Amino acid sequence: MAHTDSRVTIHMAASLDSFIARKDGRVDWLETSDEFAGGETLDPGFVESFLKTIDCYVMGSRTYETALSFVAKGLGWPYGDKPTFVLSSRELPRIRDTVEFYSGDLAQFVNGRLRPVFRTIWFVGGGLVSSECLRLGLADEIRYSILPILIGDGIPFFEKLGRDIVLHLAEVKAYKSGMVELRYEVRG
């Protein structure tokens, strides 16, 4: 069944200075000890039911390798049983039946393969993939989770976009952890 109402979301957690990882790919700074008394609590039940609304995930190879490192540390696979598409021309281990690798035209893949099948498509990293998604006009919204830390240098949220991309702020949430989540609609 084709989903003409499909939505492509770019979701990223980043430091306040817009880095998604350290230069070497580490994300050890994602857990912070900050506390904001006026913030909302991330209720595990809400998170679980929200994640059920995501039909599939798309990521680059470095994000996939970070997920593999979480599995190796015993932290589990963060994407559940959802179809997960890894954009890469490199040979990488396939650790789950739900993982599929793709190398080729991103617009053709999203519009021809994903949108007809999935209603909610989440791009979850990294910076190159997010930038390409925006450059090609594929994204409908950006969910940007900003953590209360400055890491000074690292892998940026977006690589060069080549043009302005107009956004509309649709939602802001502050959490007790000090994280702020911004949801933007992509206008062009």
- What residue has token string 């976009």? 161
Determine the average pLDDT of the residues in 143-149. 95
What region does 76 belong to: left with phi over 0, alpha with psi -120 to 50, or beta?
left
Q: CB–CB of 155/142 below 8 Å?
A: no
Q: CB–CB of 63/126 below 8 Å?
A: yes
CATH entry, 7-186, from 3.40.50.300, 3.40.430.10, 1.10.3720.10, 3.40.50.150: 3.40.430.10
Q: Render pLDDT for 79-127 as a digit per residue (tens, 0 to 9).
A: 999 999 999 999 999 999 999 999 999 999 999 999 999 999 999 988 9
The reported pLDDT for the residue numbered 3 is 56
Q: Render pLDDT for 23-67 as a digit per residue (tens, 0 to 9).
A: 988 888 888 778 888 888 877 777 788 888 999 999 999 999 999
Indicate the pTM of the whole model: 0.90
| Beta carbons within 8 Å of 83's beta carbon, 6+ residues apart | 55, 56, 57, 98, 100, 118
The reported pLDDT for the residue numbered 50 is 83
| pLDDT higher than threshold 50 for residue 1 | no
Residue extents of the structural domains in the chain: 7-186
Q: CB–CB of 87/129 below 8 Å?
A: yes
The reported pLDDT for the residue numbered 174 is 95
> pLDDT higher for 2 or 68?
68
Q: Render pLDDT for 149-168 as a digit per residue (tens, 0 to 9).
A: 999 999 999 888 889 999 99
Distances 163 to 31, 46, 52, 159 between C-alpha atoms, Å: 33, 36, 34, 12
